[in-house]
Structure 1
Amino acid sequence: MKAVIVVCGLLMLGGCATGGQSNPPWMAMGGSCTKLSGDQELSLNLADDMAKEGKLHASLANLQNLPQGSAQVQLRKARIYRQLGRDEAGPLYQGLLGSCLAAEGEHGLGQLAAGHGDNALAITHLERAAQMAPTDAKIRNDLGVVYLNQRRVDEARFEFLTALELKQDESPAALNLVTLLIYQDQWKQAAELVTRAGLTPEQVSDAQYRAQALKAQARTASNQVAVVK
């Protein structure tokens, strides 16, 4: 079954284990926050542009030329590996926890946990990320997604509204809030938000599908409780 809420490809699968091998050196370092040189910053920006264009393998190749102990480089590699569904993402995010990008590390680990369907672990990581970076709209949105997956509706609404107020063009948060409103049969409020956010008919259809999936999950959970009683 299609995932209930998938925000811009965020909740993608990836491993966190490294087996019985010893940790690589960059994990012990926690990621260096030393500023990159001008040329290195240009290479980093080039890798970012390639990733935005969907050229993930090319972006990763460019990152291999940069200092591997850099927290900035580690973060970008972790994001690419997560999108590719590679096991390397987890250890890279873990290695950021003792660095200046600890919030991003917690965020990534939360995304990986959510991708595996472990909402409890995802919330643990994402709540930590939100405490470290309370004004990061993407973190607040992703936390709201996991709350909504658990049908913790009031908490989800709070996070989506926070993300929207922090960043007005945060389309994923608007789409997720529309999903929540439809789930609660608040069609008038949903329609108003669709107009304000400029969501497309395709996005609205997707929100309706997700809301129906949530309702189906809620009915299943209710039936299971009834059987247990």
Structure 2
Amino acid sequence: MTITITAFERSPDGGKGLARDTRVRWALEEVGQPYQVRLVSFAAMKAPAHLALHPFGQIPTYEEGDLALFETGAIVLHIGERHAGLLPTDANARARAITWMFAAVNTVEPPILELVTARILEADKPWSNERMPLVEERVRGRLAQLSARLGDADWLDGAFSAGDLMMVSVLLRLRPSGILDAFPNLAAYVARGEARPAYQRAFAAQLAVNVGHRREPT
């Protein structure tokens, strides 16, 4: 059955790999599964057809036969359970990899998203200058904990897994802030994730969509 995912017709980040469809593309590339992409506009995301797939009007969604999924964590977990390459075969290692997936989206990503919101959407608010140091400190606190756990290891728990895929994807959102640079082992960890051939293919596919939209008509 053909796998179809949805992605932004024009990504807000201009194709820098921060849109969440990149996570799903990366997962599919890691397990060697072909997929199709249906591009949706911001208007289409709020239309009934898309809301039937994603009740919150976001991307990505995942369709395979009569199965429709939303939320990147759930989608990547499904891909990992269906195809070899993202989750260990050992039961305990598999459980730990899934734990790191949840940690990425539930513990590490929320303060990072708060920082993104503060920097982009709230920068003009009168209280922004006072709030920003507090938001940044929460992010640094989480990074310090993650950095201590990672240490000098290449990946979070032995070999690369879906836990690393999700964590690297989350940490990439910090690049514009420069905060990640204060944690060399995390910066190197992210760089290792980006260097994986599967990530490179996923990134190139998303970038191609946005470059195509930037081209002037001939």
Could you say whether these structures have the same fold, taking a TM-score greater than 0.5 normalized by the shorter chain as the test? Answer: no
If the length of structure 1 is used for normalisation, what is the TM-score?
Answer: 0.29
More strand by share: 2
Higher relative contact order (CA 8 A, sep 6+): 2
Bigger Rg, which one = 1
Q: TM-score, normalised to structure 2's length?
A: 0.30
Report the structure, 1 or 2, having the larger helix content: 1
